Structure 1
Amino acid sequence: MKRHYALCYFLIFGLFSFVKAQNTVVDKIIKEEKENSQLEKIAHELMDEIGPRLVGSPKMKQAHDWAVEKYKGWGIAARNEKWGEWRGWDRGITHIDMVSPWVKTLAGTQLAWSPATPKGGVKGEVIILPEFADSLAFQKWLPSVKGKLVMISMLQPTGRPDYNWKEFATEESFDKLKKEREEMTKAWDLRVQKTGKGRRDLPLALENAGAVGILTSYWSQGFGANKIFSAYTKKVPTLDLSLEDYGLVYRLVESGEKPTLNIVAESKETGVVPTFNTIGEIKGTEKPDEYVMLSAHFDSWDGGTGATDNGTGTITMMEVMRVLKAVYPNPKRTILVGHWGSEEQGLNGSRAFVKDHADMMPKIQALFNQDNGTGRVASISGQGFVQAYDYLGRWLRPVPDDITKGITYTFPGNPGGGGSDYASFLAAGVPAFSLSSLSWSYGNYTWHTNLDTYDKIVFDDVRNNVILAAILAYEASEDDKMTSREVRVPVGRNGEPTTWPTPRDATRRGGID
């Protein structure tokens, strides 16, 4: 009987000691992030000192090298892995001035990969793409664009977001605006359609006819926010003007004032350049050939500095690695972080990694990805894994209630088919989970816009995400079991069964004719 009691004592004491050790690591994670967070410093270095990270640009390579050195400074092994090549392009100065009928410097920027102006800039009268009876009429009109700057975006009837109208306008006035905008949008779409050219082909036709530049305005439906993507022209610059300044010039053209702009755009082509993923690693002690992965894409569009897409995901995962190295330096499983290149052009960096490291995929315990803005994590899906409720539930249990209380869960859920890099791993059967964030008006104000800058980061929310992701990574590393990969048949939007996503190839040579 004494031996029985002694055995029970040692078992209970051993279990208590194990739980206490676990809780001690969790407590250390929370303490380290709350009292010694490096998020603001990392964010400043990445967003302010380096800036936007367009794939193929010198800033993208600078960021990769910076991240490797940052990790090494924390005692974390890191490397850049080449996975492809891209069209090299370096954004220079963009200066847009209206010089008649009066003088005003306009707010706008070149689109990515836009050709430069001739040295000293280009000056031209502005015209609007007119209405055509058909594509033949468009062809007859084309010679008239020679030496001109052509506006090819619709004039917006208002620069006020809908929420502003809803708050202050009468119901009748708001309804009138929405109807007017809908009619204008349909009419403009028809105007473009009757040229016989798609949105990609139209700028090419105009430049081939002698236009000296293309003017667009892709309003993001928020005050001062425009989305900045890529140009389709090969010889002349394509520039996006702010809604306010685009509207000013458009109205002057309509009233017969014949406004003239002087544009200087000093971008330059830099040839074919290598593209990379940055990989950081804390080697496992008991199971070094099994992995827990942290994931965030590193590249951005370059209208702003890529602060919330995906600077916040990047600094979250960098900070998680720093915290884990400080308080959990000898994990059971190897903890990896992937900072992916060219997510914005089709998940290319992560797709390449999955294919190049196919032997690793069955050995990944779980992957946690963060990519949609500065908000605290608000939803987690089981991504179609039948047992996700069980193991994610265990790993989430030690996370403080003030972090998890606002999170909604969907189990088992459906696998994400795209949208961010976790989908590349899901397609290979890896239990990969998106830590999806609150909006903070992400879609209107910072997603791919000129306003995606450091000042939009909500650091308290990002700190919460660091604690959450660090605890998840720790718990996944310590779990005695490998995660089940049993999946359910996905259900489509129509309620009918569909198929699991399949791996897709990366674009390994991008933007190269």
Structure 2
Amino acid sequence: MKTKLQLAFVSMVLAATTSFAQQPDPMVQEIVTEATENSQLKKLGHELLDVIGPRLVGSPQMEQAHDWAVKTYADWGIAAENQQWGTWKGWERGITHIDLVAPRLRTLEGRQLAWSPSTSKKGVTAEAIILPEAKDSADFQSKLNQVKGKFVLLSFNEPTGRPDYNWEEWATEQSFEKMKKERSEAENDWRARIKATGYSSRELPEILEKAGAEGIITLNWSSGFGVNKVFSAYTRDIPTVDLSLEDYGLVFRMAENGDKPELHIVATSKDLGEVPTFNTIASIEGSEKPEEYIVLSAHFDSWDGGTGATDNGTGTLVIMEAMRILKKVYPNPKRTIIAGHWGSEEQGLNGSRAFVKDHPEIVENIQAVFNQDNGTGRVVNLSGNGLVDAYDYLGDWLSAVPDSISNQIETNFPGMPGRGGSDYASFLAAGAPAFNLSSLSWSYWNYTWHTNRDTYDKIVWDDVQSNAILAAILAYKASEDADKTSRKQRVLPINQRTGEQSTWPEPRDATRRGGLD
């Protein structure tokens, strides 16, 4: 009888223990509730993306964004400041208007490239010609006088404006293969045309400028309906504009067939000289270990073809919302939680590299970095980035995340160290445990990454909310962890290309003075 009573008691204790262990963390529940019932994501997205707009480094809009973030954090009771780390070529976009005026009238879709020189307010009218074809560099030099007073078409003319997936769905196999073969041959011919000049495609704009061209016209199609990549100009005195595939093709065919297309281009902008560039740093101070840190990381800058909504507006919104939630439901973390909004990531991780270089005392005491910079999709991948013991602590923290979020995340331990691509790499190279919250694509690479279509309407709000919840929970769990995270690095494998032992990435300093030389 006594034995039966003892067994019954043990069973009751085990049942109670199991029931207790399965109880969700109250703080996690509060995070989820605040995120779902009081979300500020759409409000923040409108203010940042619609009102301020794109955030090209060195532009007034980038400065406005930094100031807006500081004020927004202050409204939430979170300390924040703009920390200058360098200077950049200041530039402000103006009006771009491009018209075909002969042999017929049509307003064309296009835009001035970043840091392009300005036209006058009245604009420039000139004939558009294709880059002269030459047998070799000497022959090209003899033909350079042809570009004087002309707009020069400097890009390959895409033979089809339909993405391959559209062909794959509707074309016959024979027709699809024929198109790809003809396109490949045409691309090879265009590459040979560029090579024969003796210059690269990056060098040619300046050469054509010196030869008296009135402007450069490009096409940088992103292999999707209506999308172009939009980067920077390489001219110093004449404008560079990028046309849509449809309109570039129209002008190119006219030039090719001797129709002498004439364009009128107004592309105004302001050269603002040398301007300061910043990181915005917000922090919730730790109550027990204030000199140990969790960093929520996202770059703040963007290219300016669209409004930088998914690169990296969504990452910015994720960490701002996570910080807002944490301040409200977890205002006294054990460790200090930092939000790092980095400047000039697009030109080489400059803001985060500068922060790592300038704040070794923080980097030395980082518990974890969580970086978000892969578009609007929900997080589906997390790598240990070559850290041997990452599974132990990341696995523990992830176990607190609701199954509806964590079940979609594939993990890879220990993984390989990331060497670039986003700001986590700046911290990882310096030895800090840094992780990228990698997201589902949502056609990111073709349709929004650095394109003219990277705008508010492409955001998938449910996925962004999921990511904000994930970031907040990971920051909370990392802050509460009794142990400091291990930085032990794996032995890297032999590089198959070189046959040599792979080495851990080395820290690099930022470009502290950009676009000015």
Q: Give me the TM-score of the superposition, normalised by structure 2.
A: 0.95
SS state at 1:92 partner: strand
- Distance in 2 (alpha carbons) for counterparts of 1:396 and 1:427: 24
Aligned pairs (5 A) from 1:493-504: 494=496, 497-504=501-508
Letter in 2 for 1:442: Y
Residue in structure 1 matched with residue 116 of structure 2 by the alignment: 114
- Distance in 1 (alpha carbons) for counterparts of 2:25 and 2:243: 54
Deviating 4+ runs (over 6 angstroms): 15-22
Residue in structure 2 matched with residue 24 of structure 1 by the alignment: 26
Letter in 2 for 1:59: Q
SS state at 1:219 partner: coil
Residue in structure 2 matched with residue 4 of structure 1 by the alignment: none
From 182, 206, 209, the counterpart of 2:184: 182
Gaps of 5+ in 1: 1-7
Residue in structure 2 matched with residue 5 of structure 1 by the alignment: none
Alignment CA distance shift 1:19-1:55 (3 Å): farther
Aligned pairs (5 A) from 1:122-201: 122-201=124-203
Comparing 495-504 with 61-70, greater Cα deviation is found at: 495-504
CA contact (8 A) 1:489 1:500 kept: no
CA contact (8 A) 1:108 1:242 kept: yes
Report the Cα offset of residue 290 of structure 1.
0.5
- Distance in 1 (alpha carbons) for counterparts of 2:130 and 2:47: 42
- Distance in 2 (alpha carbons) for counterparts of 1:301 and 1:398: 36
Residue in structure 2 matched with residue 228 of structure 1 by the alignment: 230
Residue in structure 2 matched with residue 347 of structure 1 by the alignment: 349
Report the Cα offset of residue 131 of structure 1.
2.0
SS state at 1:471 partner: helix
CA contact (8 A) 2:82 2:279 kept: yes
Letter in 2 for 1:286: E
Residue in structure 1 matched with residue 374 of structure 2 by the alignment: 372
Report the Cα offset of residue 153 of structure 1.
0.3
Report the Cα offset of residue 496 of structure 1.
6.0
Residue in structure 2 matched with residue 485 of structure 1 by the alignment: 487
Report the Cα offset of residue 234 of structure 1.
0.3
Alignment CA distance shift 1:16-1:337 (3 Å): farther
SS state at 2:360 partner: coil
Residue in structure 2 matched with residue 288 of structure 1 by the alignment: 290
Report the Cα offset of residue 21 of structure 1.
10
From 31, 43, 46, the counterpart of 2:45: 43
Report the Cα offset of residue 185 of structure 1.
1.1
- Distance in 1 (alpha carbons) for counterparts of 2:210 and 2:501: 48
Q: Does the alignment pair 1:402 with 2:400?
A: no
Aligned pairs (5 A) from 1:50-449: 50-449=52-451
- Distance in 2 (alpha carbons) for counterparts of 1:119 and 1:482: 60
- Distance in 2 (alpha carbons) for counterparts of 1:400 and 1:119: 57
Q: Give me the TM-score of the superposition, normalised by structure 1.
A: 0.96
Deviations 1:174-219 (A, max 9, x none): 1111111111111111100100011121000101111000000000
SS state at 2:364 partner: helix
Letter in 2 for 1:429: G
CA contact (8 A) 1:414 1:491 kept: no
Gaps of 5+ in 2: 1-9
Letter in 1 for 2:262: T
Q: Does the alignment pair 1:506 with 2:484?
A: no
Deviations 1:78-127 (A, max 9, x none): 00000000000000000000001111110000110000012310000010
Report the Cα offset of residue 491 of structure 1.
2.9
Report the Cα offset of residue 382 of structure 1.
0.2
From 455, 458, 472, the counterpart of 2:457: 455
- Distance in 1 (alpha carbons) for counterparts of 2:129 and 2:268: 23
CA contact (8 A) 1:489 1:497 kept: no
Alignment CA distance shift 1:186-1:493 (3 Å): farther
Report the Cα offset of residue 505 of structure 1.
1.2
SS state at 1:126 partner: strand
Deviations 1:238-279 (A, max 9, x none): 110000000011111111110100000110101100000000
Deviations 1:417-440 (A, max 9, x none): 000000000011000000000110
CA contact (8 A) 2:495 2:501 kept: no
- Distance in 2 (alpha carbons) for counterparts of 1:19 and 1:409: 24
- Distance in 2 (alpha carbons) for counterparts of 1:492 and 1:51: 45
Letter in 2 for 1:498: S
CA contact (8 A) 2:297 2:319 kept: yes
SS state at 1:137 partner: helix
The CA RMSD measured in Å over matched residues stands at: 1.8
CA contact (8 A) 1:115 1:236 kept: yes
